[in-house]
Structure 1
Amino acid sequence: MTTRTFLVHGLLAGLLAGVVAFVVAYTVGEPQVDRAIALEEAASAPASSTDGHSHEHSHDTSGASAGHSHGDEAEVSRSTQSTWGLATGTLAIGVVLGGFSGLVAALGLGRLGRLRPAGSTALVVLLGAVAFSLVPFLKYPATPPAVGSGETIDSRTALYFGFVAVSVLAIVAAVEVARIAARRSSGVPGVLAGAAAYVVVVAVAALAFPKVDELGAFPASVLWDFRVSSLLTLLTMWAVIGAALTALVDRTWRRHDAREAQRAFAAAL
């Protein structure tokens, strides 16, 4: 099996994961986004109403044309965002994550103890899901559109991806610690040593990175439902990537073994 084979399998698995994640996000996540947008619009309605009364004459003469122009200038409508935009995003993320998982699975082949290719691939995807998505989500969970100041979006994004980088580097270091420990003793202590190393590094990073609290008076129930749906979408994508990529790798490896066995039998005749 070549690196190209793993990459192609990863891209296919990611494409399938993107489709499934879109269904989950559209079914479970988009209603929560709509609720958040409705709350944001309701909160801004009184200010708009007051402004409208104070400039009634101005709105009568030019407001209609200005409002129409603003609507025409809107780059993407909400309906497009929740359908084609969402589908494009989930498919793109799925393909990228799947392709990258395939490459890392190829790199990890034969370097993760005595695991066969299918087991090695499944472990790589699991570690990727934990380091790249799950743990960063616990530190900086997703927030709906109505939450957070537009002035701090750059700093919040930088904090999130900075923590992702720390988490990914920590998981790489933890795997190396586990390999070294496994050479000196059995496999279980090695796994525990690697897991402990990752937990320590991530815990220290979580304490060192600043908190982000811009919720204000946003309803806790809506925020909880939004975050649960976001996490469900993430886990669905990783689960499909793991299952599909592992199945494809296992099928290809079995075919490779069968061909090698046939060649060995033919050579022995």
Structure 2
Amino acid sequence: MSFGSVLRRGVLAGVCAGLAAAVVIWLVVEPVIRRALAVEDARSLHGGQSAPLALHAHGDGEPLVSRAAQVVGGAVTSVLVAVAVGVIFAVVFARLRDRLPERGDFGRSMVLAAVAFSAVSLLPALKIPSNPPAVGDPATVGRRTMLYAVVLLLGVAIALVVPIVDRWVAGRGTTAPTRWALDTVAVVVLVALVLVLVPGSPDTVPADVPAALLWDFRLASLAQLAVMWLTLGLVFGLLMERAAAPRRAAEDVAQGGPSASVSA
């Protein structure tokens, strides 16, 4: 299979993943955001600081961008981001295909999606969790972004280092159960170091933000990312398996295997 063919499948899988994430935004994330905006509105009525003026209000209090337009824009952005992720996913898959565990392309795709979700979504969410609109100081945006990027890069580094260690251990004749145990210990230790050593978010949660709202938003945001990676792995894996099916059938025919009997 050509690299261009793999890349096209990555784009198609990315579109499906983005649409799935957009559905989660609409059904799960958006209701929580509306609850957070209600907290902001109540805060502004009592003389507190309201939402960012560029999006929330202008002059007479009318929104510059309607909430419906923001939801549509978020859905479109979700698809575009997922397509870009799908392209990167396809490139990484093509580069590491023979090094990924599992025998079929579907299993390899799911393994890569699980590793990517853990490294670039789950770990940053644990250390620098996302906050609803009612939480966050605009003055700390730069620091929060930097910390999130650092954790993300460290997660990618862990995902790259552990397989290297695994191959080194395997080359020394270590049995598979021992290797898996060492890999697990390495992941736990490295993740713990990231969680302990990297500073946390500089923002504090205002007293008027309910704890349930905060955690609902964080879980909803993480669910959106999980659905995106799951859909990407599933669709890409299925597309790759479908593309490989004719080749496997031809090999079976050439070898006089089961497919030859069926074809006859």
State if a TM-score over 0.5 links the two structures. Answer: yes
What one-letter code is carried by the residue in structure 2 that aligns with 1:172?
L
More helix by share: 1
Superimposed CA distance per residue, residues 104-144 of structure 1 (whole angstroms, 9 cap, x where no aligned partner): 11111112356333322221111111111112111111100
Aligned match of 1:166: 154
What one-letter code is carried by the residue in structure 1 that aligns with 2:127?
K
In the alignment, does 2:240 pair up with 1:216? Answer: no
Once the two structures are TM-superposed, the CA of residue 186 in structure 1 deviates from its matched residue by: 3.2
Query: After the TM superposition, which residues 197-216 of structure 1 pair with which residues of structure 2 at under 5 Å, given as runs?
Result: 197-212=186-201, 213-216=203-206
Aligned match of 1:52: none
For 2:222 and 2:170, locate their aligned partners in 1 and report how far apart those are by CA, in whole Å: 33
Partner residue of 1:127 out of 104, 108, 115: 115
Aligned match of 1:67: 59
Q: What is the percentage of aligned positions where both structures have the same residue?
A: 33
Query: After the TM superposition, which residues 24-35 of structure 1 pair with which residues of structure 2 at under 5 Å, given as runs?
Result: 24-35=24-35
Q: 1:231 to 1:113 in 2, by over 3 A?
A: closer
SS of residue in 2 equivalent to 1:47: coil
Are the aligned partners of 2:109 and 2:234 in contact in 1 as well (CA < 8 Å)? no
Once the two structures are TM-superposed, the CA of residue 152 in structure 1 deviates from its matched residue by: 0.3
Are the aligned partners of 1:163 and 1:205 in contact in 2 as well (CA < 8 Å)? yes
For 2:15 and 2:136, locate their aligned partners in 1 and report how far apart those are by CA, in whole Å: 32
Are the aligned partners of 1:182 and 1:189 in contact in 2 as well (CA < 8 Å)? no
Mind listing any 5+ residue stretches in structure 2 that lack a counterpart? 49-57, 257-264
Once the two structures are TM-superposed, the CA of residue 80 in structure 1 deviates from its matched residue by: 0.3
Aligned match of 1:59: none
Superimposed CA distance per residue, residues 69-123 of structure 1 (whole angstroms, 9 cap, x where no aligned partner): x758x2x3222001x2111121012112222111111111112356333322221
For 2:110 and 2:177, locate their aligned partners in 1 and report how far apart those are by CA, in whole Å: 18
Partner residue of 2:183 out of 191, 194, 213: 194
| TM-score computed with the length of structure 1 as normaliser | 0.83
| TM-score computed with the length of structure 2 as normaliser | 0.85
Superimposed CA distance per residue, residues 222-244 of structure 1 (whole angstroms, 9 cap, x where no aligned partner): 11111121111111111111111
Are the aligned partners of 1:22 and 1:90 in contact in 2 as well (CA < 8 Å)? yes
In the alignment, does 2:224 pair up with 1:233? Answer: yes
For 2:101 and 2:180, locate their aligned partners in 1 and report how far apart those are by CA, in whole Å: 10
For 1:123 and 1:148, locate their aligned partners in 2 and report how far apart those are by CA, in whole Å: 35
For the pair shown, the structure with the greater C-alpha radius of gyration is: 1
> Size of the alignment, in residue pairs?
244
Once the two structures are TM-superposed, the CA of residue 257 in structure 1 deviates from its matched residue by: 2.1
Aligned match of 1:37: 37
For 1:67 and 1:112, locate their aligned partners in 2 and report how far apart those are by CA, in whole Å: 56
Superimposed CA distance per residue, residues 190-213 of structure 1 (whole angstroms, 9 cap, x where no aligned partner): 233233222212211211111224
Partner residue of 1:180 out of 168, 191, 194: 168
Once the two structures are TM-superposed, the CA of residue 261 in structure 1 deviates from its matched residue by: 4.7
For 1:88 and 1:223, locate their aligned partners in 2 and report how far apart those are by CA, in whole Å: 25
Are the aligned partners of 2:14 and 2:232 in contact in 1 as well (CA < 8 Å)? yes
For 1:189 and 1:106, locate their aligned partners in 2 and report how far apart those are by CA, in whole Å: 29
Are the aligned partners of 1:173 and 1:198 in contact in 2 as well (CA < 8 Å)? no
Q: 1:80 to 1:162 in 2, by over 3 A?
A: same
What one-letter code is carried by the residue in structure 2 that aligns with 1:216?
P
SS of residue in 1 equivalent to 2:46: helix
Aligned match of 2:14: 14
Superimposed CA distance per residue, residues 153-176 of structure 1 (whole angstroms, 9 cap, x where no aligned partner): 110011001100001111110111
Once the two structures are TM-superposed, the CA of residue 264 in structure 1 deviates from its matched residue by: 7.0
